[in-house]
Every structure is written in C-alpha cells, then in structure tokens.
Amino acid sequence: MVSDWQDRHRTFTDADGRFEFHAFWSSEDGNSTTDSNDPESGSDYSVELSCAAAGYAMMGEWLYNPLMKSRIPHERYYQQELESAEGAELYMRRQDNETIEVRLQNAELATSEVTVCLGYIPRAGSLFDDEIMCASAVVDADGRAFFSVPPGDFGLLGISGGKVSTTFPKCSLTHVSENHKILHIPLEPCDNYFVQGAVTDLRTGKPVPFALVRGSNRGEFTFADEQGRFAFWIGHNALDDTGKPDLKNSQTLRFEARDYMGFHRPANPEEPHGGLSGIATVGPGGNAEGPWAVGMRPWATAAGRLELAGYTWDERDCIEMELDTADLPISFAQRVKINADGTFAFSRIPWGVTSFRAILQGGDRWRVRDLRVDERCWLGDGPYQLVAEASD
C-alpha cells in the first residue's frame, strides 16, 4: 500500500509493484493544498509518500493508524523525483517477522468463525507511547490462528465470533523460540448478535472505505472494506467495568473515518436518532442486525457573513459554532474570528448541516443564537457559502 501526506489518499500496487494515484502536496510548515495538485506560488511544496507491505520495514515520513489516530516517524529509504515522466522509485527493506500463534480454548462455544485481532508495537523506529498497529486473522477448524508481524510488543485487541465474549479473558503466553510465541485464549460464552451494513458519503453517495465501526464494549469493532461494507459481532447490552450489563447505558453503534465527522447512535433501530451529525438507519423489514445504511458527513470548508442591526464588528469579535446534538463521540465546537465586514470562515465543519448554535463573543460581551442554514448552500463541490438566519 502506498499513501500520500498524512494518508489522505492511498492506493495498492499491481503485481509488478507499480502504482498511480492523485496525491496531496505538502510543505515544510505542515500545510497541504487540495487535490488540484497546484502548489501555491512562493511555497516550497513536495510530495510525501509512505509504503507498507507484509515482510518489509514500514517506509515513509509518517504512517497513519486509523484505530489509534496517532503517527510514528520513520527513516526514509528512498529518493523522490516526481518531476520526471517516470515518476518516483521507492525502495523497501525486507524485515524478518516473528510468528504469533493463537490457540483458543473452548472453541466449541463459538457458533461461527472467530476472528482474533492483535495490536503490536514494532521495535524499529522511534515510536510514540500510544502507537499501536493492528492485524487480524480468522481461527481455523482446530482453534488456531497465525500472525506474522514485525518483532515487537503485542497484545490482544479483540475477539469476534458468534456467542463468545469480546471482553478479554485471562490469557497465557508460551515462548516456543525467540521468533515464535503461542497465545492461549480461553473463550467465554456471551449472548451477542451479528451486525452488518455499509458506510457511504452523504455528499457524494460513494462508499467510505476503511471506516471504523464499533460497539459499546471493549473488543467490539471492525473496519469496513474498500466498498464501505462492514460486519461484526456485538453484545445485546453495554457492559460496565465488571463485565455486567450496564443499566444506565444502552448498546450503541459508533462510526469513525478519516476526513469525516464521527458519530454514534443506539444499536436498537427503534430508538430515536436525530441524524444531525450523521445518519444510520435500517431499511424496511430489517432489525438491529441490519442491514444498516450509514451516511457520514465529510469535513468541509465554508464561509459566511453575519449582520446585527446597530452593531459594528471589531477585532475582539468571534463566532463559535456548536452542534446541538447528543450523538457525537465528543462535543464539537470551532471558534473563528469575525472580520470587520462581518465575514467569517470555518476550515472544518460537517458538510450539509442546516442548523447550528452560534456563540458570538466580543470582549466581555457574548450572546447565543440558533442559526438556520439554507440547504442550497451545500450544493456542488464548494467552496461553500453559508447563508445563515437566526431561528428566533
């Protein structure tokens, strides 16, 4: 796999190792331009590429991990000359892997195939403390799965299978040799069900590849495929820290993807969901198992203008946008300055939002207004111009 600056675009090589895709330009100050590939005049822009492949050392300035949302720096093993017609030649270095063998105990409890996901920290390179890469494998008929990963520290991230618990049981580790370890996992029974669906972009209707889909409990997660399709097992109830049903919180489905606003909703399709931050519904005849139709709002840039009768904007004035919704993983707010003519610009707001709460601040003065946005403002590919009116 080859990706560009901050993993904004990615592609896979063909059988001969060749690749071609549109990449973002990046600059030394950490900024990037758009997909137009037209560097701003006066700036020193280049194209940063990263590569990852089984059996090879990861290569590139930065590698992005969608699960942990963190990055690790790596030594560069290539020279770039993208001005030539031949493009760039990338050279990767082979790296010996170690084998991690998983053996399940009580494998007969599972009513379906079982997938095991491991997180590991490669020893090579300078790593951030919270960096975890992940790999998954399906357990065979003998209750075993094999992982070939770069040498490093690893741990169990999750177990997914019919009628088996995703919470982490007490595991044991056996060292067969320096490069071969066996992880023994005793399975525990659990009342769960199979969830499936697809994630799409609300603006374009196209699939959102590699979206992270999670339940409420530890170990309940999966990644969508290239077509945005997902399927995994979750429990009927959210669990507390002791592993017992949490009576205060219900099971939820959570959706996250790069360049999109994340959101969550009740896993029971009959429970209400506002849909302001994203949409997840079940079609006619469906149930909690799906199929779920999930629509995510991409981040967008948008500008607007405010007018208050009898008021002149000064350098102290700013506007903070908030989404008045309970289905966000974290509260969303972005504050920007209001110019003297009342104009403002947001660099990262969810596409298609038609109402939001604005906090207007100026020195020690502030006021809260609910603003409506005309749906027609979001037509086309942008740049978007917000026409906002106060709801009161």
pLDDT one-digit tens code per residue, 311-346:
778 777 888 777 766 555 555 667 788 888 888 888
Beta bridge partners of 293: 198, 281
What's the per-residue H, E or C state across the chain? CEECHHHCCEECCCCCCCCCCCCCCEECCCCECCCCCCCCCCCCEECCCEECCCCECCECCEEEECCCCEEEECCCCCECCCCCCCCCECCCCECCCEEEEEEEECHHHCCCCCEEEEEEEECCCCCCCCCCEEEEEECCCCCEEEEEECCEEEEEEEEECCCECCCCCCCEEEEEECCEEEEEEECCECCEEEEEEEEEECCCCCECCCCEEECCCCCCEEECCCCCEEEEEEECCCECCCCCECCCCCCEEEEECCCECCEEEECCCCCCCCCCCEEEEEEEEEECCEEEEEEECEEEEEEEECCCCCCCCCCCEEEEEECCCCCCCCCCEEEEECCCCCEEEEEEEECCCCEEEEEEEECCEEEEEEEEECHHHHCCCCCEEECEEECC
pLDDT at 56 over 50: yes
- Please tell me which of 45-54, 177-186, 353-362 the model is most confident about, judged by mean pLDDT: 177-186
Mind listing the domains of the chain with CATH numbers? 1-95 (no CATH), 98-186 (2.60.40), 195-287 (2.60.40.1120), 299-390 (2.60.40)
d(CA 250, CA 208): 26
pLDDT one-digit tens code per residue, 231-281:
999 988 888 777 777 877 889 999 998 889 889 999 999 887 877 788 999
What is residue 59's predicted lDDT score, i.e. its pLDDT?
Answer: 64
What is residue 40's predicted lDDT score, i.e. its pLDDT?
Answer: 44
Burial state string for 73-92 with b = 16 or more CB within 10 A and e = fewer than 16: ebeeeeeeeeeeeeeeebeb
Tokens representing residue 14 in the block: 């063909």
The more confidently predicted of residues 255 and 92 is 255
pLDDT at 120 over 50: yes
pLDDT at 100 over 80: yes
Average pLDDT of the residues in 113-133: 60
pLDDT at 99 over 80: yes
d(CA 150, CA 392): 59
Q: Contact, 6 vs 62, CB < 8 A?
A: yes
What is residue 41's predicted lDDT score, i.e. its pLDDT?
Answer: 41
What is residue 119's predicted lDDT score, i.e. its pLDDT?
Answer: 76
Average pLDDT of the residues in 103-109: 90
Beta bridge partners of 185: 104
pLDDT at 7 over 70: no
What is residue 19's predicted lDDT score, i.e. its pLDDT?
Answer: 81
Determine what percent of the chain is predicted with pLDDT higher than 70.
71
Tokens representing residue 300 in the block: 């967008």
Distances (CA, A) of 389 to 297, 358, 367, 371: 22, 11, 15, 5
What is residue 285's predicted lDDT score, i.e. its pLDDT?
Answer: 79
Q: Residue for token digits 């992940």?
A: 134
The more confidently predicted of residues 258 and 30 is 258
The more confidently predicted of residues 189 and 151 is 189
d(CA 294, CA 279): 6
Burial state string for 20-54 with b = 16 or more CB within 10 A and e = fewer than 16: eeebbbbbeeeebbeeeeebeeeeebeebbbbbbe
The chain-wide mean pLDDT, for the chain, equals 76
What is residue 6's predicted lDDT score, i.e. its pLDDT?
Answer: 57
d(CA 325, CA 312): 31
Burial of 127 (0-12, 13-18, 19+ CB in 10 A): middle
What is residue 242's predicted lDDT score, i.e. its pLDDT?
Answer: 73
The more confidently predicted of residues 297 and 72 is 297
Q: Contact, 181 vs 175, CB < 8 A?
A: yes
What is residue 128's predicted lDDT score, i.e. its pLDDT?
Answer: 34
pLDDT one-digit tens code per residue, 156-173:
878 889 998 877 668 888
What is residue 129's predicted lDDT score, i.e. its pLDDT?
Answer: 36
Average pLDDT of the residues in 95-119: 86
The more confidently predicted of residues 56 and 253 is 253
Average pLDDT of the residues in 26-44: 46
pLDDT at 83 over 60: no
Burial of 94 (0-12, 13-18, 19+ CB in 10 A): exposed
What is residue 47's predicted lDDT score, i.e. its pLDDT?
Answer: 65
pLDDT at 200 over 80: yes
pLDDT one-digit tens code per residue, 354-372:
887 777 776 555 567 777 8
